[in-house]
Structure 1
Amino acid sequence: MLRGLLVLFVYILISAYGFGMPHLFALAYIWTDLFRPQGVAQAIISGLPLSMIFGVAAIGAWFFCKDKPRRVTFGTGVMIVWTIWMTISTYNAVVQDAAWAKWDWAFKSAVFAVLLPYYFNTREQIESALLMVLIPIGANIIAVGIKTLMGGGGYGMDMAVSGNGISESSTLAMVATSVIPLFLWVRNYSLLVSPAWLRQVMALSLVALALVAALGTFARTGLVSVALLLVIGFFRTRRKIAYVCVVLFLLSGVSGFMGDAWTERMGTLQTAGSEASAMGRVAAWLWTLDYVKEHPFGGGFNVYFINYFSLPMTDGTILEVKGKAFHSIYFEVLGELGIPGLVMFLSMIGWSITTLLSIRRFAKRHAELGWMGDMATGLVCSTFIYMLGGAFVGVAFQPYFWYLFGIGISLKHYADRLRKQPEYAPTKTGFE
């Protein structure tokens, strides 16, 4: 009851100030989309379509936004085409009802990612958008991390609090790992989280709990994602020997804390060729390749419902797979949106990474823009982790990823405005 009253009070405040500060409605939409507060405050707001209410309010408040970008970037343009293409594919989908059910939330995530740069145009606003993405995920990380510390975790356990598409173990493990570079950015540069000591404690605690949560899910995707994070950390740190020593020390205690069950499950990475779960994914991928050969434009959302594939196992048995999910962002996009969809998907990711690296180079030339360079770096690291972990999880259309994409576009527009100022203009011989 009290939680419901608190959440309702927050929404009343947002509604009161939203049209004076339009980005508040956008922040509220991100929160309700990623966290689903109805799940933790059911007594009062369980029946309210909060996401729709704030989505409509945000679109209406768009007309009051100041300093809106006046040109469309390549990434935004491709995203617009992407939303049109996913709609056309849904009209032609093989499994109509299931396709429209997925389109309903996937389309909204893509559209709002396009709109994000129009709401967040200052450093504080961009940071507020980033925080509003991190806070809901952080809430789930805290819950899963603490439960893991108390009970050791476990595969398939429902330990998340509330979330849009991130409570599944492999997805949660990958997302928890990918947000760590962004938590570290908050620790070093946040203007909105103060005082400094509180920011340090909160960020470092969330980093530790995120690692515990990623491993505590017992999802192999989590181990792979953490491994990439550690590699990235090695190349970014200046104290490489000390870094390696600390990592080895921490890793030596992981198996002992997690227990034999965790060690045995992680050991199946070495025998994936004979494990039914892993080979089932391979079978689904092979079916997707065969399907796209005959249907290059894909089969629409949730086309995997019709898949059927037989795969010989190393022990001589035949593994039959029917209606198995894609378990990969790349095969998910390929199977559902076809070759054009995959080309657009990879183009947007490639453009985003290239653009963020360009922002990083620009910020390096100006000491006061260290926050911008490190935010761009953090977004790149998070993207790489998502791309690797996503190779084994079908989360291509999850809002978390596309909100980070939209924040990157907001950062680009902000950097472009700075480049027009005399003190930030490039030198005659300089290149980004």
Structure 2
Amino acid sequence: MRDIALALFIFGMLPYILMRPYIGLLVWSWLGYMNPNRLCYGFAINFPWVQVVAIVTLVSLVFSKDSKRIPASSITVLLAVFFAWTTLTTLFAVETASAWQWWEQFGKILIMVWVTLMLVRDRQRMHFLIWVIVISLGFYGLKGGIFTLLTGGSHHVYGPAGSFIGDNNDLAQALCMALPLMRYLHLQSQSRRLRIAMVLSMILTGIAILGTYSRGGLITLAVVSGILFLKSRGRIGVVALAAILGMIAYQFMPSKWTERMDTLHHADQTDSAQSRIQSWEFAVNVALHRPLVGGGFNIYQNTEMWRRYGPEGATPRAIHSIYFRALGEQGFPGLALFMALLIASWKSCGRVRKYAIGLLDLKWAYDLASMMQVSLVAFMIAGLATTSAYFDLSYQLMAICALLPYIIENKLVKSIDHQLAQPRT
């Protein structure tokens, strides 16, 4: 039944997407982050829904009268250069076949990031996109939070299998990135009921992060709570949220959760930490021997490379750090470009905050820029121990960071034009 319902919805949306490519962007984002097909049981699980929607969206965009100009910024330039660099490293990749598969997947993500840059031209479209992201990931926050409460935290919370957020650590990272966006919607909502709903969503999402049993998720949640306090209006609410989650963590969660979190005090002695460190050493050794192009996508799957560059006795595994993964796969220039993207995104939001502070009609931009910075921090902190260097949400957030100054500039120009058009008295 779920398969049929999903198929009817997607195919029913295609005519609207053909008329308005922006609808296609929203549907693509929903499919990419929520992965509703992974909640089905039949033909819908492996059907290429994202590809179908992306193709129809691109066809619609070609024939659309909407402006297709991409705002010029350091972020957009770096996105193009980074993709070009991954193309070069893939040409010299060790695991050629799988590297090209990852390159294709990354390219598809960036194509829709470019579509985001083309189509999100005003506050309303930006707001709707944030809503789709929050609803998509918030579904797993609500579901995971309720599941944790009902089971007493005795079971791990996972994302949909076969997706970017299927692993408990990746899900915790994504939910930590979604929390600031929920806070933005809470700040901007005019409805009291909606504000209450967003508060409950943030609480349950925080509980879901605890329920993932991810130690990196716990650290990231603590950091996000602190930066939310520094960056957000209405700080008493942030303190109350942190207090509630802290109380639940140490009064409600079972002893096995507490014991797992206590290993943070001697993380270097745990098997998982040792295996992560070994993967970092492997990535560094690969980069030192191939400093320009690294090993290419999926270098960690090559057993021979692990034998040559991995620590003695290490078991081949994924590189659990977005930074070391970028280094091992894309070389030192690739890591530099990756870091430059994160820094440029942060600075772009910083400029918006500086310009919009104290301006009533730009309060939304100030809030969104602030929360985008918190989401970036969540990605960077959780990414210390996850493999999600090419997580689609992180690159779409970078696009939003690039778009914010452009939208504000357009609003300012329109305001000036309106004032000039008024007759003088």
TM-score where L is the length of structure 2: 0.89
After TM superposition, give the deviation of residue 127 of structure 1 in Å: 1.4
Structure 1: gaps of 5 or more residues:
312-318, 426-432
One-letter amino acid matched to 2:224: L
2:390 aligned residue (383, 394, 397) = 397
Alignment of 1:144-293 (within 5 A): 144-153=144-153, 157=156, 159-161=158-160, 164-190=163-189, 196-236=191-231, 247-248=242-243, 250-293=245-288
Structure 1 residue aligned with 2:325: 332
Distance 2:65 2:209 in 1: 38
Structure 2 residue aligned with 1:104: 104
Distance 2:240 2:161 in 1: 37
Question: What do the CA deviations read for 1:102-148 (whole angstroms, capped 9, x no partner)?
Answer: 22322211222122111111211111222222222112222221211
Distance 1:146 1:340 in 2: 44
Structure 2 residue aligned with 1:344: 337
Distance 1:167 1:146 in 2: 18
Distance 2:28 2:16 in 1: 15
Distance 2:44 2:224 in 1: 38
Distance 2:144 2:79 in 1: 33
Distance 1:98 1:121 in 2: 36
Comparing 275-284 with 302-311, which one deviates more in the overlay?
A: 302-311
1:372 aligns with 2:361: no
1:294 aligns with 2:289: yes
Question: What do the CA deviations read for 1:201-228 (whole angstroms, capped 9, x no partner)?
Answer: 3311210111101111111011111110
TM-score where L is the length of structure 1: 0.88
Distance 1:244 1:22 in 2: 41
After TM superposition, give the deviation of residue 72 of structure 1 in Å: 2.6
Distance 1:154 1:304 in 2: 33
The question of whether the paired residues in 2 share the 8 Å contact of 1:299 and 1:337 is answered with yes
After TM superposition, give the deviation of residue 386 of structure 1 in Å: 0.9
**Secondary structure of the structure 2 residue equivalent to 1:373:** helix
Distance change >3 Å, CA 247–CA 54, structure 1 → 2: closer
One-letter amino acid matched to 2:48: P
Structure 2 residue aligned with 1:430: none
**Secondary structure of the structure 2 residue equivalent to 1:19:** helix
User: Number of residue pairs matched?
Assistant: 412
The question of whether the paired residues in 1 share the 8 Å contact of 2:70 and 2:118 is answered with no
Distance 2:316 2:336 in 1: 25
Distance change >3 Å, CA 252–CA 44, structure 1 → 2: closer
Distance 2:183 2:315 in 1: 42
Structure 1 residue aligned with 2:94: 94
**Secondary structure of the structure 1 residue equivalent to 2:226:** helix
Structure 2 residue aligned with 1:26: 25
Identity %: 24
Measured on the aligned residues, the alpha-carbon RMSD in Å equals 2.6
Distance change >3 Å, CA 161–CA 204, structure 1 → 2: farther
**Secondary structure of the structure 1 residue equivalent to 2:319:** coil
2:350 aligned residue (338, 349, 357) = 357
Comparing 41-50 with 329-338, which one deviates more in the overlay?
A: 41-50
One-letter amino acid matched to 1:326: I
One-letter amino acid matched to 1:124: Q
Distance 1:121 1:286 in 2: 44
Comparing 8-17 with 378-387, which one deviates more in the overlay?
A: 8-17
Distance 1:115 1:243 in 2: 34
Structure 1 residue aligned with 2:81: 81
Structure 2 residue aligned with 1:61: 60
The question of whether the paired residues in 2 share the 8 Å contact of 1:154 and 1:217 is answered with no
The question of whether the paired residues in 1 share the 8 Å contact of 2:356 and 2:366 is answered with yes
Structure 2: gaps of 5 or more residues:
419-425
